[in-house]
Structure 1
Amino acid sequence: MALTYIPITSDWPCQVKAPGSFDWERSAARWLRELVPARYASYPALIKHPVLLARHAQIQVQHEIRVARTALQTARSELPSLGMPESVIEHTIKMYAAEVLQLQHIARSVRAVSQALVDNNLARA
């Protein structure tokens, strides 16, 4: 059965081969495993079914976004009581803001890879 090529968007991670190309699912799984805690990457169900791995990576990244947003939103009110100087607080706020943006980009990439994996599964079914 011929695989359908899916157009790659700017959200597609450079570490993942183009959908439909040789070994693209393996490159997708390898990239997705980097996004989840190491203990999850060895679970047989997640190894055997990249779609499940993609789902877990989506959940993981969404939680990381929430954590970074909470840290960003509370930094100015909580860090002074920890004895942090204003310069450190400002640097920390910039760090969390940048992290939220990076995680949002990763979330879009995970969604793109996940959709390609689902489409590929459905095409084989």
Structure 2
Amino acid sequence: MIMPLTTTRISPDWPCQVKPPGSYDWERSAAKWLRELVPARYAGYPALIRHPVLLARHAQIQVHHEMRVARTALQTARSELPTLGMPESVIEHTIKMYAAEIRQLQYIARSVRAVTEALVAQAAGR
């Protein structure tokens, strides 16, 4: 009997560090990637180690707060950096840096959301 090939369609936001859902050891690769997104002290908590969905939730919160910090830094750069003695060239570079960081964090947030959805679906299927 010939087994049909099945393909798992994954989001374009799916992180390349995480194996596709349903593949061998994909949850472990997801947990490893998610641990890299949270502060090291959280990555060692037993509850977060044992429950990838909980780890994914924490990573979502972490990335959301990092975006808030970067947005605040961007919004206040022009008014606060001159008072710290920063030259205009440094201020412009800093603004570009924060804008790039926000774009990167938005991509990471979409990736975390995709991984979370897959982990939740996997857990519901058990």
Q: TM-score, normalising length from structure 2? A: 0.94
Which consecutive residues of structure 1, in runs of 5 or more, have no partner in the other structure?
A: none
Given candidates 93, 104, 107, the residue that maps to 1:105 is 107
* Match in the other structure for 2:55: 53
Given candidates 30, 33, 46, the residue that maps to 1:31 is 33
Which consecutive residues of structure 2, in runs of 5 or more, have no partner in the other structure?
A: 1-5
Structure 1 residue 5: Cα displacement: 6.5
* Match in the other structure for 1:73: 75
Q: TM-score, normalising length from structure 1? A: 0.95
Given candidates 83, 86, 95, the residue that maps to 1:84 is 86
Large movers: runs of 4+ above 2 Å: none
Structure 1 residue 6: Cα displacement: 4.5
Deviations 1:55-111 (A, max 9, x none): 000000000000000000000000000000000000000000000000000000000
Distance in 2 between the 1:17 and 1:5 partners?
A: 13
Letter of the structure 1 residue corresponding to residue 40 of structure 2 = A
What number of residue pairs does the alignment pair up? 121
SS in 2 for 1:11: coil
Structure 1 residue 7: Cα displacement: 1.8
- Structure showing greater radius of gyration is 2
Q: Percent identity?
A: 81
CA RMSD of aligned residues (A): 1.1
Aligned residues of 1:32 and 1:57 also touching (Cα < 8 A): yes
Letter of the structure 2 residue corresponding to residue 113 of structure 1 = V
Distance in 2 between the 1:82 and 1:68 partners?
A: 18
* Match in the other structure for 1:120: 122
